[in-house]
Amino acid sequence: MDEKSSLQQNIPLWERRDEILLLAGCFIQLADRQVKTGHKELSKEAGEYLLTHDWKDEQELENAVKRACILSDADVLQREDFDIRQKRVKSIGGFIEERLKWFMRNIKRLEKFDLYDTVITEVEKALIVMVIAETGGNQLKAARLLGINRNTLRVKIKKLGINIKPQA
């Protein structure tokens, strides 16, 4: 890394707004390479949002762009795709709530069932398996995508009994 890049990374991203859309484009391509999200572009409104948001650093922008790429099925990212807390969590929460209602109706001895641990364990296991598959078995990339430390991921893999097939 040269001295200029090193100095620029110490300047908050919100003070380097002219770089935001260029970086976002790079992060969209990175998401496609890492997680196979497909070619995506930013809508005008999404670009305006990225330019007006006060990003503290490149990592925060990268996380937001990758999340939007992963969660959106569309080829063009919209402003709403960056509203993780408002739009996406509600839809994920609603999905989980519906599945849990079905599950609770279909189990017989609810009073002897450890529902919380069972649900949390199964959701965590499914998420880790899916992310590891999406990253081609690369645990470092999977940990980054999950937002956890690589060692934490390895502990969870062992605890949950997840078998990782070596990549050929």
Query: One digit per residue, pLDDT tens: the chain, 168 residues?
Result: 444 444 456 788 878 889 999 999 999 999 998 888 889 999 999 999 999 988 888 988 998 999 899 888 789 999 988 875 544 445 677 777 777 777 777 676 666 677 788 889 988 998 999 899 888 899 999 999 999 999 999 999 999 999 887 655
Distance CA 6, CA 9 (A): 5
User: What is the CATH code for 3-82?
Assistant: 1.10.8.60
The first and second tokens of residue 81, run together, are: 């795709």
Furthest-apart CA atoms within the chain: distance in Å: 65
| Domain boundary assignment for the chain | 3-82, 107-160
Task: Please state the CATH superfamily assignment of the domain spanning residues 107-160 in this structure.
Answer: Homeodomain-like (1.10.10.60)
Judge contact between 42 and 16, C-beta under 8 A.
no
